[in-house]
């Protein structure tokens, strides 16, 4: 199996064997959870972290990252042509108030992504490459009620040894539905930033404060733990100028990124009936 498939099974197994089961007040579901779960994978040496134990919609996370990079916050602005995943989190004006890309590029009065690129071009040794999504003025702590608050709430980018490394910090991860797409999406962002900065791609790290499985996913997890796939490593081959084209919401870009990934991707069948717990 790929390194990421093995890591994923290890995390699921640990949650099912060691996780604490408790009822979640907001959703009404039993949740089995572990605090402080972490993994790292070297994308250059160990392959792109795209789950092959079940089929993950590649076009969805690719389009989502392009939408993020553009700084948009309305799904109708590019994203809805490819996925409706954010439609559950819009307000009556069809705005996702916590859209990650909008937070990165506009919400705090500074373009964090542009500043990150400028900083690391001038000083590749800088350790100040921190991007924040969480707004302490309104998110969480019993503050403004919203359909969603950021799960991946901050990430740090470092260039070490001529390669770009990304550490993603996540407050809460649904390990069956949210986690695989989050990992693939942010690993793609890492590859895009590395291309923009003209450096290699290094280690993707993912730290979760609350890693959990819902009770309506237990059977799916048991199935995933039984599966094996002799899949080769997936390598990313990006077209030119992805970051700049993403800022312009270039629709041709989605297929140009997806096609070489899809040519390598041979996942096991989808697990039918999985539902997002909102």
Cβ atoms of 162 and 120 within 8 Å: the answer is no
What span, in angstroms and rounded, lies between the C-alpha atoms of 226 and 108? 45
| Helices 58-70 and 178-197, axial angle in degrees (round to 10) | 50
What span, in angstroms and rounded, lies between the C-alpha atoms of 209 and 7? 17
What span, in angstroms and rounded, lies between the C-alpha atoms of 71 and 66? 9
Mind telling me the catalytic residues?
Answer: 151
Token pair belonging to 190? 């890492």
Diameter of the chain measured on Cα atoms: 50
Closest CA to 152 of 213, 208, 89, 108: 208
DSSP 106: I
Cβ atoms of 101 and 69 within 8 Å: the answer is yes
What span, in angstroms and rounded, lies between the C-alpha atoms of 90 and 80? 12
- Total count of residues recorded for the chain: 278
- Between CA 38 and CA 45, with CA 41 as vertex, the angle to 5 degrees is 170
Token pair belonging to 17? 């064997």
């Amino acid at each position: 199996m790929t390194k990421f498939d093995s890591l994923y099974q290890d995390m699921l197994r640990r949650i099912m064997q060691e996780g604490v089961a408790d009822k979640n007040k907001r959703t009404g579901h039993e949740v089995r959870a572990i605090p402080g779960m972490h993994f790292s994978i070297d994308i250059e040496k160990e392959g792109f972290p795209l789950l092959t134990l079940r089929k993950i919609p590649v076009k969805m996370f690719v389009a989502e990252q392009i939408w993020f990079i553009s700084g948009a916050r309305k799904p109708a602005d590019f994203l809805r042509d490819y996925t409706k995943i954010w439609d559950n989190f819009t307000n009556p004006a069809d705005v996702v108030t916590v859209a990650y890309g909008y937070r990165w590029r506009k919400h705090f009065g500074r373009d964090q992504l542009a500043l990150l690129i400028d900083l690391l071009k001038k000083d590749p040794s800088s350790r100040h490459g921190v991007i924040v999504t969480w707004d302490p003025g309104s998110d969480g702590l019993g503050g403004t009620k919203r359909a969603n608050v950021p799960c991946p709430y901050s990430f740090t980018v470092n260039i070490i040894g001529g390669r770009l490394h990304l550490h993603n910090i996540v407050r809460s991860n649904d390990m069956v539905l949210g986690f695989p797409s989050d990992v693939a999406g942010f690993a793609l962002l890492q590859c895009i930033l590395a291309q923009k900065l003209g450096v290699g791609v290094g280690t993707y790290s993912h730290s979760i404060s609350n890693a959990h499985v819902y009770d309506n996913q237990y059977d799916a997890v048991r199935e995933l733990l039984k599966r094996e796939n002799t899949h080769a490593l997936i390598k990313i081959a990006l077209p030119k100028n992805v970051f700049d084209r993403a800022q312009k919401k270039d629709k041709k870009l989605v297929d140009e990124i997806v096609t070489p990934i899809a040519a390598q991707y041979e996942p096991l069948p989808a697990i039918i009936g999985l539902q997002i717990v909102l």
